[in-house]
Structure 1
């Protein structure tokens, strides 16, 4: 119990550091692109448009607007879960040199990866939600209320 408390205390004390490093990772990822981190949302929107068009036609969906919204929000959440699981598998392998050569608690890299995935999800989800709200105007109000 004492060990868990120390880990949680370290996470809280280092919160600005791991949040900043995850933000820098996001900025470094798209530094040479014109649109920057908007590519995250745009790639999801392109996937949603293609999948909604293909599956909507193949399955002869009756209510295409609602289908597109469900597909879009589900795809964004699935991408977040998928990238979190795939990213977590290699956290210690990628940061092995930092772990060996510094005395930073290894939980730092886990929390930094979580913050990176959360920031990526927030950027993508906000853009997709904004665009899908043009399809169904009540989407944002329902999202806020419920």
Structure 2
């Protein structure tokens, strides 16, 4: 089976995985008053509190532009970091299903990824409804290319999960180490502050490779759409997803033995 045919076979089951992911979110918030709206509300509260603190400390001159910067940065990083953290324990959490259901390993990763995608869309909708009041053009920028940046962010989450989920089974220290690295990366990257605020330490922001996906998702909303670069990243990531899905399917028995 070629990588393209492997990707096509998974495409056929995406509707079923989407329904399963939606059920997971519904069950998670079943006893709450606003249901999955808590995803958007918690994101808004985090942006409001942290944005106010960091914006005051760094003395931002343009608050509407800064709110867009922080809101898109936080939701992008939260999606990426949450996906990576979840992938480190994914196979362990799916252990019983792996042992009792003859499904490809990629199915479990895709199910988790679709859930992450739904969470991103809910959080983003809440943010845009509020931030769009300050800067109505943010909706226009979503249509003009912001959607492509968000797609690249989600594809990055997918292939990183496909890569890390089996490695975390073999390397038991990875689930312990990854949250620490992600926390350091969040605090050292220009997500809550502008890069120039670091002054002579601005070079530190270049040490976090994951920040590249934050820029891919956020820059189009800031009026910095680079179509050539975004399309190149899209093609490369699609190829990586196809190759890793095939590779992961072939590693099924090895992963089960590690479990």
TM-score after normalising by structure 2: 0.53
Residues 60-85 of structure 1: per-residue CA shift (max 9 Å, x gap): 11111111110011101111101111
**How many pairs were matched up?**
145
TM-score after normalising by structure 1: 0.92
| Alignment map for 1:52-71 (pairs within 5 Å) | 52-71=51-70
In 2: Cα distance, 1:82 partner to 1:30 partner: 21
In 2, are the aligned partners of 1:41 and 1:123 still within 8 Å (CA)? yes
**Consecutive aligned runs of 4 or more in structure 1 exceeding 3 Å deviation:** 3-7
2:85 is the alignment partner of 1:86: yes
In 2, are the aligned partners of 1:22 and 1:116 still within 8 Å (CA)? yes
**2:143 corresponds to:** 144
Residues 17-51 of structure 1: per-residue CA shift (max 9 Å, x gap): 21111111111111111011111111111011111
**1:12 corresponds to:** 11
| Alignment map for 1:111-122 (pairs within 5 Å) | 111-122=110-121
In 2: Cα distance, 1:143 partner to 1:21 partner: 27
**1:50 corresponds to:** 49
Q: CA deviation at 1:6?
A: 5.7
**2:152 corresponds to:** none
**1:109 corresponds to:** 108
Once superposed, what is the RMSD of the aligned Cα atoms? 1.5
2:145 is the alignment partner of 1:135: no
